[in-house]
Amino acid sequence: MSSYFTDLAQQYIDGEWRPGTGSWDIIDFNPYDDEKLASITIATVDEVDEAYQAAARAQKKWAETNPYARRVVFERALRLIEEREGEIAEAIIAELGGTRLKAGFELHLAKEFLREAINLSLRPEGRIIPSPVDGKENRVYRVPVGVVGVISPFNFPFLLSIKSVAPALALGNAVVLKPHQNTPIVGGSLVAKIFEDAGLPAGLLNVVITDIAEIGDAFLEHPIPKVISFTGSDKVGRHVATVCAQHFKRSVLELGGNSALVVLDDADLDYAVDAAVFSRYVHQGQVCMAANRVLVDRSVAEEFTEKFVAKVRTLKAGDPRDPETVIGPVINSSQADAISGAVEQALADGATALVRGTRTDNLVEPSVLTDLPANSPLLKQELFGPVALLVTFDGEEEAVRLVNDTPYGLSGAVHTANIERGVAFAKQIDTGMFHVNDGTVHDEPIVPFGGEKQSGIGRLNGDTMLDSFTTTKWISVQHGRSGFPF
């Protein structure tokens, strides 16, 4: 594992591993013990240009490659991940403070998405559409967009890089990937290494490790990429969308959330507690689909709260290398500061702490807050940390209103003994995804993934990848002679 942080601490451009030419380094730290993992000289605007130019040169031949031949690369990549699973898991634990449970979860999904990419290579289909003109044949081809820019986040960097990179490549595009500065190896150069070893031709996948302090909007504004796939906060996503629109680029935005898990009066409370605790505290709550809010019908609130608090108290916080650890560190000190500050503000505004976790460096223990005032800003924002907000409601109508009272609309869940009641409830929620009698954190390779409102634009997974990473082209053929009015 340690060799990843020495051998891969470079830029990957046009099939070559090389240092950046910037004047400063990104330092990659282990968020749990602050160990220095790597020092990477950043890429400049010139290297971003070189990466996009290399991608453009390589893409046309790749698009013309038989899709049956293209998919062999993804089959090899899948085998390599399976062979190196232990090493990759150790890298995930070290670089982003993921627990062993989380590393296994991320690797499982990464492999599932690669399996889908293998199939996606063969998915594009053309159409013949009738014409009102005699003798005319309308052919609609589905073709690659060309070059895709991918910006991946720090929370599931290996999975979420592969989730855009693999389908974009499978559909005949080339890619330039910019991983998050806190996860440059797992989210960037490690992905490149796997595809390089799998036989992907040089230039088709490039990785630039850099910072907007160095390159500004050059990654977005460059004239070569036709699509930017961004996963991250809604604040940055708004900027990405604005820049893309100004330059007539398509943006696919997977942004933040403020999901709610709702417990109706007929729910299985023990099961609902298990679902809610997982949905809030998986990967320290650093998940866009995490259940920020747990809404409970007043008639069962006392019993649910007692069981929920008891289970939260059992969650072990500490060294993510320990298999017993459930709560590892958050990604950096600024995140830890934000979480602690949000809890302090909520308590100052009148909330009650049923569980008050302490903070040691980047390790933030779980907290459970209740009695938040209805106008608390915490109820409407994304809280990227291990803090659960318990809210009671009276009846379904109020529950629907509370769930929708947020600028986000990504995921959510409802628990009830009556499945159709749950489905009827789900239909009233303004989200891209909603789950009946389950948790809020789900992602499957062939089901459309994405949000409404400030949670994003567009969808990923399955056939929606065709909408994201290909475009249509109409070619008409006139059989015989066409008539013209002059």
pLDDT recorded at residue 47: 98
pLDDT per residue of the chain (486 residues) written in tens, 0 to 9: 568 999 999 999 999 999 999 999 999 999 999 999 999 999 999 999 999 999 999 999 999 999 999 999 999 999 999 999 999 999 999 999 999 999 999 999 999 999 999 999 999 999 999 999 999 999 999 999 999 999 999 999 999 999 999 999 999 999 999 999 999 999 999 999 999 999 999 999 999 999 999 999 999 999 999 999 999 999 999 999 999 999 999 999 999 999 999 999 999 999 999 999 999 999 999 999 999 999 999 999 999 999 999 999 999 999 999 999 999 999 999 999 999 999 999 999 999 999 999 999 999 999 999 999 999 999 999 999 999 999 999 999 999 999 999 999 999 999 999 999 999 999 999 999 999 999 999 999 999 999 999 999 999 999 999 999 999 999 999 999 998 999
Domains of the chain: 2-255+455-474 (3.40.605.10), 259-436 (3.40.309.10)
Burial class of residue 366, CB neighbours in 10 A (0-12, 13-18, 19+): buried
Q: CA-CA distance, 452 to 277, in Å (whole number)?
A: 24
pLDDT recorded at residue 483: 86
pLDDT recorded at residue 1: 52
Catalytic residue list:
254
Query: Using an 8 Å Cβ cutoff, are 271 and 415 in contact?
Result: yes
Q: CA-CA distance, 481 to 484, in Å (whole number)?
A: 10
b vs e for 74-99, b when ≥16 Cβ sit within 10 Å of the residue's Cβ? bebbbebbeebbeebbbbbbbbbbbb
